[in-house]
């Protein structure tokens, strides 16, 4: 009988997609760990096969008491508070930093691979997105909690078992509906278009024209593939960017969403100028609350990821959003 694979944050967006992908590979001995205080996340696990579910606090207590010694093959640690507007620093550090340190120490002691979710928020407002200390300057406590754990992982990773930190850029795709305001731009655009017949974007800011602020938008399927690549290569460790390496505008996401919805209705695609002209895209004022806390441009430098052998292509916004809109329409 094989050991367990643990997925923390398993009922969340990326965690539940990882569980599904592991199931597709024939893996059934999965322990799902999460905090279901917000119970609606359970829906992400309905079509998943698990051997057990544990509350986060129960899981921490059990590993600290030796209950899983010698019984776990890998931990895919996706559990975190991902609300970038969270202002409770103690909660953020306990949830994102201290929890991760406990798992790191246990995994190193047990020689168990640890793949964990870092974030592009570690780079803050900088223009260079390369996995080096001099380019890291987070703008909020969420980014700082991820940054600080990356430093801990850097200190520990040469010691033994695999440690991989994946700096997720703007991930979008199925199973994020529970995230509310923290769900992706593509999700909000779909909801807006279905409910109001139009999507909304910020007016120009940071030197960009209306809707032309740019992010590295990465489809969830690609995020899963990179995680599984490292799971299959336990000899590879380090911190790696996980984006597409291609910055695209918020306008591009809006256009892909509108045209995806139009395709569902049997309607022809439109150009950006036309959807603006028809009132299908509206620009709203940039919010005061985000002043000084907003990344107007992100683009993953994939040099490190490519250098260790990950060669697969990444979906464009046009490809990924089209698939996502079809998935959302079936829900």
Give the tokens for residue 170. 């703007």
* Residue among 4, 53, 91, 179 flagged as catalytic: 179
Are 173 and 124 in contact by the 8 Å Cβ rule? The answer is no
- The answer to whether 142 is a known catalytic residue is yes
Radius of gyration of the chain (CA): 20
Helix, strand, or coil (residue 229): helix
How many C-alpha atoms does 297 have within 13 Å on its Cβ side? 12
Q: 113 with 231: CB under 8 angstroms? A: yes
What are phi and psi for residue 146, nearest 5 degrees? -75, -40
Distance set, CA 156 to CA 163, 214, 242 (Å): 8, 34, 21
Of 76, 224, 94, nearest to 163 by C-alpha is 76
Question: Considering only CA atoms, which of 138, 142, 140, 164 is closest in space to residue 153?
Answer: 164
Is the CA virtual torsion 145, 97, 118, 210 positive or negative?
negative
Catalytic residue among 116, 123, 142, 190: 142
CB 101 within 8 A of CB 124: no
CA distance 322 to 59: 38
Look up residue 149 and give its two tokens: 């754990």
132 is catalytic: no
Active-site annotation, residues: 142, 179
């Amino acid at each position: 009988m094989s050991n367990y694979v643990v997925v923390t944050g398993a009922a969340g967006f990326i965690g539940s997609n990882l569980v599904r992908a592991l199931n597709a590979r024939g893996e059934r001995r999965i322990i799902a760990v999460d905090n279901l205080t917000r119970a609606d996340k359970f829906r992400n696990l309905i079509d998943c096969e698990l051997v057990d579910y544990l509350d986060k606090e129960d899981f921490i207590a059990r590993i600290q008491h030796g209950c899983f010694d010698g019984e776990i093959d890998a931990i895919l640690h996706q559990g975190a508070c991902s609300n970038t507007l969270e202002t409770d620093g103690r909660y953020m550090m306990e949830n994102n930093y201290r929890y991760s340190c406990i798992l790191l120490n246990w995994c190193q002691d047990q020689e168990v691979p640890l793949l964990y979710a870092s974030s592009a928020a570690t780079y803050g407002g900088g223009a260079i997105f390369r996995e080096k200390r001099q380019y890291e300057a987070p703008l909020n406590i969420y980014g700082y909690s991820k940054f600080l754990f990356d430093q801990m992982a850097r200190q520990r990773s040469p010691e033994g078992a695999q440690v991989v930190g994946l700096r997720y850029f703007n991930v979008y795709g199925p199973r994020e509906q529970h995230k509310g305001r923290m769900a992706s731009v593509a999700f909000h655009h779909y909801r807006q278009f279905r409910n109001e017949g139009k999507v909304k974007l910020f007016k120009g800011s940071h030197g960009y024209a209306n809707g032309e602020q740019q992010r590295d938008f990465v489809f969830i399927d690609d995020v899963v593939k990179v995680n599984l690549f490292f799971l299959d290569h336990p000899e590879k460790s380090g911190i790696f960017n996980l984006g597409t390496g291609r910055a695209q505008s918020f306008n591009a996401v809006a256009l892909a969403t509108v045209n995806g919805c139009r395709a569902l209705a049997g309607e022809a695609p439109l150009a950006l100028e036309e959807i603006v002209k028809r009132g299908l895209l509206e620009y709203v004022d940039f919010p005061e609350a985000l002043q000084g806390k907003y990344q107007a441009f992100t683009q993953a430098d994939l040099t490190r990821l490519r250098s260790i052998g990950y060669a697969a292509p990444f979906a464009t916004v046009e490809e990924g959003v089209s698939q996502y809109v079809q998935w959302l329409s079936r829900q």
